[in-house]
Structure 1
Amino acid sequence: MHFTRPRELVVAAVLGLVLVYVVFQLAYGDLPRLPTLAGVTFAVLAVIEAIMAYTIRSRIKAGRVTASIGIARSVALAKASSLAGSFMTGGWLAAFAYAFPRRDELVASVFDTRAAVVGAVCSAMLVAAALWLEHSCRTPPRDERQDSRPTTG
């Protein structure tokens, strides 16, 4: 497995944007109103992954890593979260792009615009936290690992 590349995130975001915009074009009138706090789930995941990143990073720097399978699972979680967050950021931006110009015509689009902003911000937070978690799971260069250990003497 390789670390997440920027182009993968861009592709996921564009796919989310296109798919959601097409769905809104075809069926906006039939869809229920978007819940304003629907995107907050991604913010909660972002906080959890940021805490994991901080913990793992400090353990790696201190040389206290005992279970490398846990680090591998964290990398997999980070990769999946960054891709899902990118896809949903694109989707929320599509919802915003569709609803914002129509807020004078449709009352529902005022609420959907708010939900889209909350969702886009929270999804972007998840992408950032996931990328930090992925970065935190990298093994530091050899000289940096040696410098961080306490010396005896």
Structure 2
Amino acid sequence: MSPVRRRDLAVLAAGLAVAAWLLVRTLYGDLPALDWWLPVPLAVLALAEALGARTLKTRLDALREARTRPGTTPAARDTPVRPVEPMLVARLAVLAQASAYVGAVFAGVWAGVLLHVAPEVGRLQAAGGDTLAAVLGIVSSGALVVAALWLESVCRVPPGSADDDPAPGVSA
């Protein structure tokens, strides 16, 4: 599996920003008001992925440390090393890649909305609330992309560790 290319995410977000701007510019009067809480699910997903990345990184670092000390078993340490299922890491890597693309899509859409509503704040009453929603959407989407890329980087196998045998008593 190849890592997500940042250039692909940027091109996707930029293209959707232009498309969303054109669509919102055409249909803005017919659209419902954009509430501030619409981007909250993106922020929750970003937080969950960031916490998952931190937890997985801690567990993988502990496993790698246990492997480098050949005479130490997990029972001999103060805190036991919980093994990480390889399929869990693979699934998290796929989730991270999908989330990075979803975050880029929503970042582009929210940026397109912001491009239209921000200049209209003084003229249209609804543009103020829509601008707030668009800014929160861009921040939430950006946070999702960053968290997803971090989770993806945590799931990568470090160079040279694929051929290493685990230390006695430590399972991968």
TM-score higher than 0.5: yes
Instruction: Structure 1: give runs of 5+ residues left out of the alignment.
Output: none
**Which residue does 1:127 correspond to in 2?**
145
Aligned with 2:32: secondary structure?
coil
Q: Provide the alpha-carbon RMSD of the alignment.
A: 2.0
User: TM-score, normalised to structure 2's length?
Assistant: 0.79
Greater C-alpha radius of gyration: 2
Find 2:98's aligned residue among 51, 63, 80: 80
Which of the pair is proportionally richer in helix? 1
User: TM-score, normalised to structure 1's length?
Assistant: 0.88
**Which residue does 1:23 correspond to in 2?**
23
Letter in 2 for 1:86: A
Is the contact made by 2:59 and 2:84 (CA closer than 8 Å) also made in structure 1? Answer: no
Tell me, yes or no, if structure 1 residue 96 matches structure 2 residue 114: yes
**Which residue does 1:35 correspond to in 2?**
35
The offset of 1:65, in angstroms, is 4.2
**Which residue does 1:118 correspond to in 2?**
136
After TM superposition, the runs of 4+ consecutive aligned structure 1 residues lying more than 3 A away are none
Aligned with 2:158: secondary structure?
coil
Letter in 1 for 2:130: D
**Which residue does 2:155 correspond to in 1?**
137
Is the contact made by 2:40 and 2:140 (CA closer than 8 Å) also made in structure 1? Answer: yes
Tell me, yes or no, if structure 1 residue 106 matches structure 2 residue 124: yes
Instruction: Structure 2: give runs of 5+ residues left out of the alignment.
Output: 64-81, 168-172
CA distance in 2, matches of 1:132, 1:90: 20
The offset of 1:20, in angstroms, is 1.1
Indicate the percent of aligned positions where both proteins have the same amino acid.
Answer: 39
| Count of matched residue positions in the alignment of Structure 1 and Structure 2 | 147
